[in-house]
A and B are shown apart, each in its own frame.
Chain A
Amino acid sequence: MRYGYGRPALKSSVDVQLQTAFSDGNWNSVIRLADKRAKSLKDPYYEAIKVSAESQLDGAAERGAVLNAIEDLVKQKTVPDIDTIELYEWAAGDFIGEEIEYADTLGPLRVKWAKANPKSPLAMGCLQSCLEYWDLVSAQQISTALDKAHLNSGDRRFMFWSITLTFLLSISPQCSGPSRKVYSLLVAKQLERAAEITENTPKVETKDRGLLTEEEVCLYYRVLLAHGNKDDFVKRVRSGGLGALVLLEKGHKLLFWECLDALEPWGEWDLIFDLCRQALRLGVKGVTAPFFVCDLQVWKRFIAAASKAADPEAALREVQDILKEFFAIETKTAQMYKKNLSLALLESSFRLSALAQDSAQGDTGMTPRVVQIGLLLDDCFDKLAAFDDVKGYVSILTFEEAKALVDVILPKMFDSIPDKARQVILKSLICKIRYLLATCPQTLSRHPSVVDGETQSQPYRCRFCSNLTSLPCRHCLQEIITEAAETYKQITADQELQDLIPRLDKDPRQDLALVVGTSLLKLSGLKASSSSASGAPLRDVQPELLLQAILLLDTQLGKTPADNGLRLLLAQLCLLIGTTSYAQQVWIPMDVKRTIQDALSPLFFDRISTLSPALFHGSRPLMQPLRSYYGNSLGNAPPLKIWDAFSSGSYTSILDLSKYDSRLRTSCTLVMTLVEEARATRSFGSKVDIEIADHPLARDIEDDTLLINKTDYGSFPNLEGPLGPQIQEFVRLGPELSNERAHIAFLTEQFFDLLAYKPPKDYKPARPHDAAIRDRNYALESLTRLNHSLANLIHIPSLPTLLTGPEMTHYNVVFLLTSALLASLSTARGDPTPKTLAPVTSSIRTALSSLRTSCYHSCPPRMPPTLFALTDMHTVAHLRETALAVKHSAGFILAFHERELARDRSGKSALHRDVVSEMKALEAVGSKTLAETKSHLQKLKELLGEGGWLDRILEWTFGREEEEVEREGEGYKAAVLDIVGGRDAAEEWAGKMLESWRDGVKGWLMVRWD
C-alpha cells in the first residue's frame, strides 16, 4: 500500500516494535531489527525492509544498496512480492530517472506482479504507479492484463484504459518505430471491432465490448484520425450507428466539432455541407436545442462548403434559407446567437457577391454586402466587439464599397441617432474604420514609381484624398487624428456626455485615444518588426511622433487604468524606447501570474536582460514566478492530473493532457525564462547554480526539439487590417520568440557555461597528465557539438528575419568563436598555423566593429544623439555580450595554454604560438570594447545627471516651445496637446520617462565589465 509519495505501510504481519521504528523513521533501529528478523524468520521481506531503511541514511554506499537489491529482483524469474516492490519504489525514489530508469526496473517488476494477480485491487495500484513515472510500456502491459481479467465485470474502464495506453504508446517516443507500428495496428483493430459491435447491436449494454459513451466514441475517432485512412473516417462519419450526427442528437457536440476539424483539411466540402445542414436542421426541427450548433464556426464552415458546392449559388441560397428559419424561431434568443446569425448572413452575402463578381455596383459601391455591413452595424455598433466583428469584412471591400460605407452609410446612420452618447460611440467606430481602411492597400492606386527620371518616395496615390503617399496614407492618418481628437475634446467639454459615459460599455475616449495613438505610431515611421530586423528599432523613426503617441496613450491609461489592451500596448512601447522600469510599472497591475504566464510573459520578459539587467536586482528574483510555474507544472514525469483522467474515464482528456504536457515542456517561454535568468546572472557575475543544459526544466530540450511559441496577442487593441502585420509587430522590440532564436540563445548560454567552468578548488587530480588530456578532449567534444549545432542554425536562410540585427551579429560571433576555439585547441605547437584561424578571427573583429559602429556612430540626423543612445540599450547589451564572449574565449584558450606550460615544462602540449598571439589580440579587443562601452554609459549617466532634462524631453516630443507653430501637415500636434492637457501636463510624463532612463543607465553600470 502506498501513501502518495510517503512511506509505504509494512505488512501487517510485521511485529509492533519494527512497525513503530519504521513509522517513527528510526532507521538504525529498523536496520537492526529487520536484520534480526531476516535471520531468524528467513523471510526476504525483512531484508527488503533493512535495505530500504539503509537508503534513508547519509552514506552513499548504504543509500545505493537499494539499487543493487532492485537489480537482483529484476533478474529473478519468480513473481516478486508486491510489498517489497512498494518498499523499493519508495526507497529508490531519488534515484529514479537519474541512476535507474523506472521502465527498466520497477515498471517490469510491477508488470510481473500484476500479470500474476490481475484481479487484485493492488494491480490497479501497479498501473497507477507506472503512470506516475510515465512508463507507458509497463502501464500498457498491466492494463491489458487487467482488461483480460475483468472481461465480464461490466467495468468498461479496463478495456478503454488498455486501448488508450496502446494508442499513447503507438505515438510515443518511448516506443521504437517497428513497435509503434504494431501498437497502432493493434489499437486500430481493437477499436474497429468495438465500432462494429456498436454499429451492429441494436442497444449496446455496459457489458458489451462496443462503444457506448461519448468519450469512447471520440477516442475511436481520434485513433481513426491518427492511424486510419481518410476513406474509413469519412465512411464512419456518415454511418448511422456512430456517425457525427448520432451523438449530436443525444446532446453531445464534441464529435461533431472534431469531425468538422478533421474534414476541412481534407477538402471534404460536400460532407461538411451535408453535416452542417443536417446538424442545423436538427435545431430547427427541435430534435436538439434550437441553437445547439449555432456557432459562428459552424456557420462559416457551412458557408465555405456551400461556396465550393457544384452549384454554389443554390447552396448559398439554401444556407440563407436556413438562416431565415433561425431568424424566425424566436425573438427572445440570446444576443450572442442573434449576432452569430447576423454575421453568418454577412458571410453568405460576401460569398454570394464573390460568385456574382459584381461586388462593385456601378460607381456607387452600394453593393448588397456593404448594405449588409451597414445593417449589422446598425444593430450592434454600440457593442464593444462591433469593430472586431466587421473588421475582416471591411478590409476586403473594394475601394468603391469602402467609400460608400464611409461616405454614405455611416454618416446616414450617424444622422439617424438622436442620442448624443450613442452618436459619439458611432463616431469613435467611424474613426476606427477609417484608420482600418487607411491601412488597406485597395484604398491606394499605383503611381509611377519613376517620374521625370526621378524615383518617387511615395509610389501611390490615395483614392480617398488624392494625395501622393505610401501605405498607409499619411494625409488620411493626419485627418483621422484631427477628427478623433476633435471628438475626444467634444466629450471632455460636454458634462452631459460625461455623465452618460458610466452607462456605456466603454468610455469612447479610450478608442479615440487609441486611434490617435496608433495613427501617430504609423506616422512616426515605426515598421513591423518582421520587416526591419536589422539595426536599432528606432533608426528610421520620427522620434517626436513616437513620443507623442506614448505620451498620449500614457495619459489615457491614467484616466482609464482598467484598459488592459492599452496597458499592453504602452508596456511594449516603453520597452521599445528603453524606459524599462516604467514599462514594469505599467505591466505589474495586469497581475500576470500562474497559468497565463506561458502565453503572456514574453510580452514583458522577452529580451529583458538586454534592456535592463537592473530589474533582476529587485527584492524578489524577477523570473521566480515563471520558474516556479514551470517547476510546479512540469516537475513530475507524467502530465498533470493524468490519473484523474484515467480514473474518470475521460479518454480524450488523457490524450489532450499528454499533448499539452509535451507542448509545455518545449515552450519557447520556458527557454526564454532560463536564458534571461542565466544572462542576468552572468551580468552581475553571480555564481550560476546549475549550468543551463543541466537545468531540470531543460531536460526535454535537444537540438532537434521543436520549441513552440504560444504568445497570446489576443488582448492587443488591433485596428490593423487582418491581412497585414498586427499592432504587436510594430511595437515589439524585434521579432517574436521562435524555435530558432530559443535554440541559438540556449546554445550560446551553454557556450558561456563552458567558458566559465572551473574545477572545484580542492580538485587535485592524481595523474595530472591524464586529467589534462581528459579536459582537453572534453572541451573539444563540447566545442565540436556546439559548433555543429550553431552552424545548423546560423546557416538557416530565414534566421536574420527571426533575430534583431545585434542578436544576429552576436550569435554569429559566438559561432565563429566556437570555430576559433576548436582550431586553437586542436592545433599542436609543432603543427603549421591553422589556416582557418586568421579569417575567423578577422570576421570576429569585423563583427565587433560593426556593433560598435551601430552603437556609437550611426545616430540618424533627425534623432537627438542622447535619445538614440537611451533607446538602443539592446545594441549596447549585445556589444557588451559579444565583447565578453570574445574576451572570455580568448581567456579560455590562454588559460589552457598557461596551464599546459606550467604542467609540461617541455612546452610540447602547449598551444601554437600564432594561436596564442591571435588570442592575446582578441582578448585585447574584447577588453578595449568593454572599457569603451562602460565609459559610454558613464558619460550617459553624467549627462542625465545634469539639469534641464524635462524641457529637453518635451522638446524631443513637441519641438521647441517657441517653434510650436505647426509645420505644414502637422495640424494634429495641437490636437495631441489638447488631449494630454497641454505642455505643462506633459511635464509630469516627461519626469517619469527621465526617471526610468536614469534607472536603466544606472543599472547598466552595476553589471560587471571585466
Chain B
Amino acid sequence: MANFRRFRPEDLNKLSKCNLDPLTETYELGFYLQYHAKWPSLFQVAEDQYGNIIGYIMGKLESSPDVYRFSEHYLPWHAHITAVTVAPEARRLGIGKLLTEQLEAAADANDTWFVDLFVRSTNYKAITFYKSMGYSIFRVVKDYYGDHSSDPTKSSEDAYDMRKPMKRDVKKEHIREDGEKFEVDPSDVW
C-alpha cells in the first residue's frame, strides 16, 4: 500500500490527500524546497500505489547561533521535526510513527543530541503519540501560537517543546522529567 522514500519536488503535485485535510498546513513553495535543498534526507514521504503522497515528514538539523552559546536557552546540535502529517485514509497504519523513526535514524546518523518538536498543548492525541515514541515535554512555550485550536474565545495557545534523546546523549542530559514546569517566552525559543 505504501512506499517510503525521500521527497522529490514533483511530489508537490500529489499532495492533495494530505493537504486538503484542514489539519495540514500548506506552505509556500520555497518552504518545502528549502528542506529538500538543505536537509534532503530528513524530508521523507509515504506514497500509495497510485503515486499519491499519503504522509510526509519535514525535519532539519541545527543548533542555536553561536551568539547564544552561553544562554540558558541555547540548543546544541539537534534535529527538529517541522511538520509531520498523514492523510486521513492512511491513518492507524503506523505511518506517522515510521516516518518519525526514519527521521530519528537520520538524526542519529548526523550525531545529534536529540530530536525536538513543538505541539499545541491541547493536541492530546499528538502528545500521546509522541510520548508513546519516547518524547517528553522539555518546556512550555507560553502563547506560542497566535490562535487557539479549540477555544475561539482565546487568542493564543501554549506549545509544548517535546524532545527525545538520541544515541549521542548517553547521560540523557538534554531531557528533563518535569518539563511541564519550565515555562519560557516565545522570544526565548530560537
Contact = CB atoms under 8 A, between A and B. Distances in A.
A37 B36 CA distance: 49
Given A334-B94, A595-B15, A595-B29, A384 B36 contact: no
Q: Which of A257, A339, A712, A714 has the most CB of B within 10 A?
A: A714
A595 B28 CA distance: 5
Contacts of A599: 12-16
B148 interface: no
A254 B6 contact: yes
Contact of A335 (B9, B17, B48, B94): B94
B30 A632 contact: yes
A384 B87 CA distance: 11
Contacts of B94: 334-337
B109 A340 contact: no
A592 B90 CA distance: 21
A343 interface: yes
A336 B5 contact: no
A640 B17 contact: no
Interface in A383-404: 383-385, 388-389, 392
B3 A389 contact: no
A711 to B, nearest CB: 8
A318 interface: no
A600 B16 contact: yes
A710 interface: yes
A141 interface: no
Interface string B79-92: 00000000011111
A594 B2 CA distance: 26
B49 to A, nearest CB: 6
B98 A334 contact: yes
A206 interface: no
A653 interface: yes
Contacts of B17: 714-715
Contacts of A335: 92-94
Interface string B34-51: 101111110000101111
A646 to B, nearest CB: 8
Nearest to A656: B9
A962 interface: no
B98 A340 contact: no
The main secondary structure of chain A at its interface with chain B is helix
B104 to A, nearest CB: 12
B100 to A, nearest CB: 11
Given A339-B1, A641-B30, A653-B37, A715 B20 contact: yes
B1 A648 contact: no
Nearest to B28: A594
B52 A714 contact: yes
A825 B190 CA distance: 68
A650 interface: yes
B105 interface: yes
A712 B89 contact: no
A265 to B, nearest CB: 17
A641 B5 contact: no
B8 A564 contact: no
A295 interface: yes
Nearest to B50: A714
Interface in B117-175: none
A916 interface: no
Given A632-B29, A659-B9, A295 B40 contact: no
B36 A712 contact: no
B66 interface: no
Contact of B89 (A385, A641, A650, A657): A385
Q: Which of B13, B28, B39, B40 has the most CB of A within 10 A?
A: B13
A933 to B, nearest CB: 37
B73 to A, nearest CB: 25
Given A334-B94, A505-B91, A645-B38, A295 B5 contact: yes
B40 A653 contact: yes
A125 B88 CA distance: 46
A334 B29 contact: no
A254 B57 CA distance: 16
Interface residues of B, number: 52
Contact of B4 (A295, A385, A389): A295
A1 interface: no
B27 interface: yes
Contacts of B21: 564
A296 B49 contact: yes
Contact of B93 (A296, A383, A656, A715): A383
Q: Which of A215, A251, A385, A388 has the most CB of B within 10 A?
A: A385
Contact of B38 (A343, A648, A712): A648
A591 interface: yes
A593 interface: yes
Given A339-B93, A714-B52, A642 B37 contact: yes
A218 B62 CA distance: 24
Contacts of B40: 215, 650, 652-653
B2 A596 contact: no
A715 B39 CA distance: 29
Nearest to A333: B94
B28 A650 contact: no
A633 interface: yes
Nearest to B20: A564
Interface in B65-111: 88-95, 97-98, 105, 109
B5 A595 contact: no
Contacts of B112: none
B32 A595 contact: yes
A716 to B, nearest CB: 9
Contacts of B49: 296-297, 343, 388-389, 392
B48 A595 contact: no
Q: Which of A337, A642, A656 has the most CB of B within 10 A?
A: A656
Interface string A177-215: 000000000000000000000000000000000000011
A657 B37 contact: yes
A253 interface: yes
A151 interface: no
A644 interface: yes
A562 B87 CA distance: 13
Nearest to B109: A251
B9 A297 contact: no
Interface in A286-320: 289, 295-298
Interface string A623-655: 000000100110000011110110010101110
A296 B2 contact: yes
A593 B26 contact: yes
Contacts of B178: none
Q: Which of A392, A641, A659 has the most CB of B within 10 A?
A: A641
Contacts of A856: none
Contact of A596 (B26, B31, B34, B95): B26
Contacts of B5: 253-254, 257, 295
A857 B15 CA distance: 44
B10 interface: yes
Contacts of A389: 1, 49
A388 B48 contact: yes
A339 B12 CA distance: 25
A590 interface: yes
A864 B20 CA distance: 37
A591 B25 CA distance: 10
Given A257-B5, A712-B15, A660 B37 contact: no
Contacts of A712: 13-16
Nearest to A339: B1
A296 B3 contact: yes
Given A388-B50, A598-B13, 7 more contacts: A295-B5, A334-B93, A334-B95, A385-B90, A594-B29, A595-B32, A598-B12
11 contacts: A253-B5, A295-B4, A296-B1, A336-B93, A336-B95, A384-B91, A593-B26, A596-B16, A599-B12, A641-B37, A663-B10
Q: What are the 3 A-B residue pairs with the smallest beta carbon separation, nearest first?
A: A334-B94, A660-B9, A645-B37
Interface of B: 1-6, 8-10, 12-17, 19-22, 26-34, 36-41, 46, 48-52, 88-95, 97-98, 105, 109
